[in-house]
Chains A and B, each alone.
Chain A
Amino acid sequence: GAVVSQHPSWVICKSGTSVKIECRSLDFQATTMFWYRQFPKQSLMLMATSNEGSKATYEQGVEKDKFLINHASLTLSTLTVTSAHPEDSSFYICSAYVTGELFFGEGSRLTVL
């Protein structure tokens, strides 16, 4: 099946810094990618829908200026957590849609100290 890769898998940063997480579709082109956030022992919550070449569509309650999403190419979407704080610590998962299938990345664990 198709492969979606996220990088980095783990990241620890200081409070106030910005962190970028990449989501790549390795062997296919994805016009649409989704970003989810997962708190410990909880479900995945959709943060935003990312469409190549256009602005991301954010879910209600998700701060657009805090979580910057860019989908500049058909194989890459990035999530930048700006001025990160401890409450932003979470597991972030991306997924890519291609003709009736949704493929998930391995996830990126962000810890903000």
Chain B
Amino acid sequence: AQSVTQLDSQVPVFEEAPVELRCNYSSSVSVYLFWYVQYPNQGLQLLLKYLSGSTLVKGINGFEAEFNKSQTSFHLRKPSVHISDTAEYFCAVTTNTGFQKLVFGTGTRLLVSP
């Protein structure tokens, strides 16, 4: 079975600074990887996904992530954050394109301060 590890439970950063949210996965087969954002008391919104092809994936709101198979990582980055980026970010993995058994990490809270 696959698993996801988000080592950082909280990442504080100042506005306009760059940020990287770390995600490592474990799987014995090929995976599909996702990053979702959750604002307070709301559902999840897809930021970006890796299914195949280029390992550098660009998403919404200026976020990007790089799939590194050798390091089994899919870290999320943004070169300059805004106050409005304050939210919970979840990395998720599945081995099925039908999203069966989508497994989420424990989440990273990004706190952007002025």
Contacts and interface: CB of A to CB of B under 8 A. Distances in A.
B83 interface: no
B105 to A, nearest CB: 6
A32 interface: yes
Interface in B71-111: 90, 97-107
A100 interface: yes
A4 B46 CA distance: 13
Q: In terms of DSSP, what is the predominant structure of the interface of chain B?
A: loop
Given A93-B43, A107-B43, A44 B97 contact: no
Size category of the binding interface on chain B: 20 to 34
B36 to A, nearest CB: 8
Interface in A27-73: 32, 34, 41-46, 49
Interface of A: 4, 6, 9, 32, 34, 41-46, 49, 91, 93, 95, 97, 100-102, 104-107, 109
Given A97-B98, A104-B45, A105-B43, 8 more contacts: A6-B43, A32-B98, A34-B102, A42-B106, A45-B104, A100-B51, A102-B99, A106-B42
